[in-house]
Each structure stands twice: as C-alpha cells, then as structure tokens.
Amino acid sequence: MPPGSMEGYGMTIQFAAPLEPVGVHVADFMEEYAIKAPTLAKRLNVSRSRLQRLLEGARCDGDMAVRLSRAFGTTPEYWLNLQSLYDLSLIDKDTASAIEREVVPLAIAE
C-alpha cells in the first residue's frame, strides 16, 4: 500500500493536500472568458451574493452546476466532480481510519 493511502473493503482512499474549492476554478474560467463577477451573476441568473459565496469557497450544488455548465460550455458533472474531489481531499487520514474502524461493510443478502 503506497504511503498516503488507505486500502480496505475493496477501496483505496488517496490522501493529498486539499484540492481547490470550485470557486477557484470558476474564477479561472472568469479570467479566461474576461468576465467580471457582477456580469457572470447576471448571465447565470443568480444573485451577486450567491456567486460571491461560491467564489469564496461555498459548495457548488446541482443548480449552480447546471448554470455554470450552460454558461461555460461544460457539463454539470464537471462542476459536481470538482466539488466531490475537493470534499474528499479534506478528509484526513485519522478520520478515514476512524471511519474504516467504525463502519462495518454490509453483505449482500443471498
């Protein structure tokens, strides 16, 4: 088992420094498209404060993922996958080890 990973019950969890929140990626797209936050909020049909919260690290939900995918020509899955990867990157080794000890895998009924 490589260092920085945990293997058990058919799954391996890799530990790395936390990835960036979705808002960082949105900011990168904004730079690429040369669009400011107030304009993007209008184009997404969301409040400026909602977009600002995302840019500051709030979670990206399904609704926002669909809006971002429409605006930037990506898919909702692109944004939700970034969110999931970020969430998983925040789990530390101790927490993952505790979960492995505490949660017993279910067996399929025969």
CATH of the domain at 31: 1.10.260.40
Residue 35 lies in a domain: yes
**Integer Cα distance of 109 and 1 in angstroms:** 30
Q: Is residue 37 part of a domain?
A: yes
User: Domain range spanning residue 60?
Assistant: 18-91
pLDDT band, residue 5 (cuts 50/70/90)? very low
The answer to the question of residue 9 being in a domain is no
pLDDT for 13: 59
Q: Higher confidence at residue 23 or residue 4? A: 23
pLDDT tens figures, 54-82? 999 999 999 999 999 999 999 999 999 99
Digit-coded pLDDT (tens) for 7-25:
544 556 565 566 899 999 9
> Do 44 and 72 form a contact (C-beta atoms < 8 A)?
no
What b-and-e string marks burial along 86-95, b requiring 16 or more CB atoms within 10 Å of the CB? beeeeeeeee
Query: In the numeric block, which tokens belong to residue 99?
Result: 């979960």
- CA proximity to 60, closest of 72, 73, 50: 50
2 falls within a domain: no
Residue 3 forms part of a structural domain: no
- Mean pLDDT, the chain, whole residue set: 88
Percentage above 70 pLDDT, the chain = 84
Structural domains in the chain (count): 1
Give the residue from 80, 42, 81 showing the smallest Cα distance to 64.
80
In a domain, 83, yes or no: yes
Does 29 reside within a domain? yes
Q: Is residue 47 part of a domain?
A: yes
Please indicate whether residue 105 or residue 9 has the higher confidence score (pLDDT). Answer: 105
